Amino acid sequence: MTMPLNQPDFSLAEKVALVTGASRGIGAAIARTYAAAGAKVVLASRKQEALDEVAAQIQAAGGTALAVAAHTGDPAAVAHLVERAVETYGGVDILVNNAATSPHFGPLLTAQESHWDKTLDINVKGYFRLVQACVPAMRARGGGKIINVASIAGLHPQPGMGIYCVSKAAVIMLTQVLAQELAPDGIQVNAIAPGYVQTRFSQAIWDNPTLNDAVLRSIPQRRMGRPEELTGIALYLAAPASDFTTGAVFVIDGGQSVASLLPP
């Protein structure tokens, strides 16, 4: 007798996904993928006009999307964002914390207090605010998925990006702590750690031929990643297929993290 094949479940039908930093780059790519998988997507970032463009693209492709401008550094805006998601779609099943900032570039000791405050407020406390606001809705629906976008900068120091590195290391530990604490609620918490991806966030590097060449030499694949190349792991972490995966950090960097192990 032939046994049926067990296919992993990657459907997000009837799920509600909230994605921050969704007006462009990695956040927008993840939102499009979730919508294509059947999720109702709530898009968040600071600028309404840019969000509306992404929402229109998703809707034109047959998906469902709601655009809500919200600054993750503002607790009231975060609360309003989650309230809109619950009022419109009935709850929240998936949270992607992606919004981030990096106002300081240079030696760490040249940073000002304001650089620390802004970076940690958005990159770490902003993630915490969204989790704190979404977890009650997830518990009400019997569980959920939280995906925190970290960075290889949280695992390996990157030149000139000291505060950002510290903030992304904090995101990784935040992910692990929350994974442990929320497991009894049926909520899985994982992190994605991208490497050098072509987004507006990294434009200062890829617009500079000298910097760009130096970074590309450190990547075994000798190229930048594309936002769409992160959406496969993001879909896995949002779908039932990952129900036994929590507290993990998935590095997507073209091999940059292991480059020192390769022959020159």
> What tokens were used for 183?
């497991």
Q: Which residue has the tokens 């094949």?
A: 5
Q: Provide the residue ranges of all domains of the chain, joining segments of one domain with +.
A: 16-251
Q: What is the biggest distance separating any 2 CA atoms in the chain, rounded to whole angstroms? A: 70
Given a cut of 90, is residue 256 above it in pLDDT?
no
What number is the average pLDDT over the span 10-22?
97
Determine contact, residues 122/72, Cβ cutoff 8 Å: yes
What number is the average pLDDT over the span 257-262?
66
What percent of the chain is modeled with pLDDT above 70?
87
What number is the average pLDDT over the span 235-246?
98
What percent of the chain is modeled with pLDDT above 90?
77
Q: How confident is the model at residue 225 (pLDDT cuts 50, 70, 90)?
A: confident
pLDDT in tens, 41-84: 999 999 999 999 999 999 999 999 999 999 999 999 999 999 99
Q: Out of 34, 164, 196, 236, which one is annotated catalytic?
A: 164
Given a cut of 90, is residue 142 above it in pLDDT?
yes
What number is the average pLDDT over the span 129-145?
98
Give buried/exposed letters for 53-63 (b at 16+ CB in 10 A, else e): bbbeebeeeeb
As a CATH number, domain 16-251 is 3.40.50.720
Q: Return the pLDDT at 74.
A: 97
Given a cut of 60, is residue 264 above it in pLDDT?
no
Given a cut of 80, is residue 85 above it in pLDDT?
yes
What number is the average pLDDT over the span 94-110?
95
DSSP the chain: -PPPP-------TT-EEEEESTTSHHHHHHHHHHHHTT-EEEEEES-HHHHHHHHHHHHHTT-EEEEEE--TT-HHHHHHHHHHHHHHHS---EEEE--------B-GGG--HHHHHHHHIIIIIHHHHHHHHHHHHHHHTT-EEEEEE--GGGTS--TTBHHHHHHHHHHHHHHHHHHHHHGGGTEEEEEEEE-SB-SGGGHHHHTSHHHHHHHHHTSTT-S-B-GGGGHHHHHHHHSGGGTT--S-EEEESTTGGGGGGS--
Q: How confident is the model at residue 258 (pLDDT cuts 50, 70, 90)?
A: confident
pLDDT in tens, 196-222: 776 676 556 656 666 656 666 766 667
Q: Return the pLDDT at 226.
A: 87
Bridge partner list, 144: 187
pLDDT in tens, 24-46: 999 999 999 999 999 999 999 99
**Mean per-residue pLDDT of the chain:** 91
Catalytic residue check, 164: yes
